[in-house]
Amino acid sequence: MKLKTLLPLSVLSLAVALTAFAADEKKPAEALKAFMITGGCCHDYPQQKNIIAAGVSERLNVEWEVLHVEGKQPEIEAELREKLGKDGWADGYDVIVYNHCAAKETDGGFVDKIAEVHKAGKPAIALHCAMHSWHWELPLPEGDEKAWPKVLGVSSKGHGPKAQITVTKVAEQKDHPVIKDLPDGWVTPEGELYNVQKILDSATVLAYGENGKAKEPQAVIWVNTYGKGKVFSTTIGHHNSTMSTPEYLDLIANGVKWVTAE
């Protein structure tokens, strides 16, 4: 008859703890839930929504829901007001990603409601033409800034000709989690350099861009805190060729990690 060897209780406890630890290590991280708002003129949004969602999901565990609005500008603005004007539209999502063009919006109350969602703490990512949305046609409040630029941390209107952009990191920010993987001096395959007329005190610029045609470098990557909400933005991203690069997708994935980090 074989004798059973009894382990001391302390050894058994340690074995159980190590087994539980190993199981936790193998357990996949819970997926982030992202809501992408896209559509509008002047860009290949049908392809870009797939490029962004697939590229980021290769780098992070993210589940996506997409609102893609189509049509002419008045129709786009109207559909966004209908879908995003409802209370609680952002509930259940960990991050809202804006890659859209809605430059003709005139309903300041609607934009204020969007801003309040992020002021209350909902993280946001804003890409390219999101910087030209929701403020061009609205008056500047006396003694204050417009609501959407306060969310973004900058105010932008207009852009230069289509040309490659050379991206240079701000030296003091080169190790920031959002741009740590971006090569300094990266040149985009194609580009459209946005004019950034105002950078608010709440924003931290991480990189500037030059296209050989603008009079001075323009902010192209930055982060902002609006109320309790963290926001990452980049004006880079007009062309599919640029959005598809590993450098761009690493940048966006790092942005998602940064805005959703506790």
Select the more confidently predicted residue: 82 or 12. Answer: 82
Range of the domain at 59: 30-260
14 found inside a domain: no
Q: What is the 3-state secondary structure (H, E, C) of 2-47?
A: CCCCCCCHHHHHHHHHHHHHHHHHHCCCCCEEEEEEEECCCCCHHH
Q: 13: which residues sit within 8 A by CB, 6+ positions away?
A: none
Full 3-state SS string of 36-101: EEEECCCCCHHHHHHHHHHHHHCCCCEEEEEEEECCCHHHHHHHHHHHHCCCCCCCCCCEEEEEEC
Mean pLDDT for the stretch of residues 165-189? 98
Whose CA is closest to 137, among 113, 171, 170, 102?
Answer: 102
Would 71 be classed as within a structural domain? yes
Give the global pTM: 0.89
Per residue in 91-124, pLDDT tens? 999 999 999 999 999 999 999 999 999 999 999 9
Report CA torsion sign: 105, 108, 113, 114: positive
Give ∠ CA 177-178-181 in degrees, rounded to 5. Answer: 80
CB contact set of 250 (below 8 Å; sequence gap of 6+) = 59, 181, 182
Tokens of 73: 């500008």
Q: Is the dihedral of CA 161, 157, 113, 118 positive or negative?
A: positive
Query: Number of C-alpha atoms within 13 angstroms, CB side, residue 262?
Result: 0
Render pLDDT for 195-215 as a digit per residue (tens, 0 to 9).
Answer: 999 999 999 999 999 999 989
Does residue 119 or residue 13 have the better pLDDT?
119
pLDDT bin (cut points 50, 70, 90) of residue 74 is: confident
Question: Would you say how long the chain is, in residues?
Answer: 262
Enter the tokens of residue 150: 């306060």
User: CA–CA distance from 150 to each of 34, 169, 174, 237, 242 (Å)?
Assistant: 22, 23, 24, 21, 27
Q: Are strands 229-234 and 124-127 parallel, antiparallel or unpaired?
A: parallel
Determine, yes or no, domain membership for 46: yes
CB 112 within 8 A of CB 227: no
pLDDT value, residue 204: 98
Q: Are strands 154-162 and 186-187 parallel, antiparallel or unpaired?
A: unpaired
Instruction: From 103, 69, 47, select the one nearest 238 (Cα to Cα).
Output: 47
| Strand duo 62-69 + 166-169: pairing | unpaired
Whether 8 is covered by a domain: the verdict is: no
Say if 247 falls within a structural domain: yes
Residue 73 maps to which CATH number? 3.40.50.880
* CA gap 35, 174 in Å, rounded: 29
Domain assignment present for 233: yes
Instruction: Decide if 145 is inside a domain.
Output: yes
| 191 belongs to a structural domain | yes
Number of folded domains that form the chain: 1
pLDDT for the residue 108:
96
Whole-number Å distance between alpha carbons of 214 and 223: 23
Rounded Cα distance, 146 and 137, in Å: 11
Distance CA 171, CA 22 (A): 40
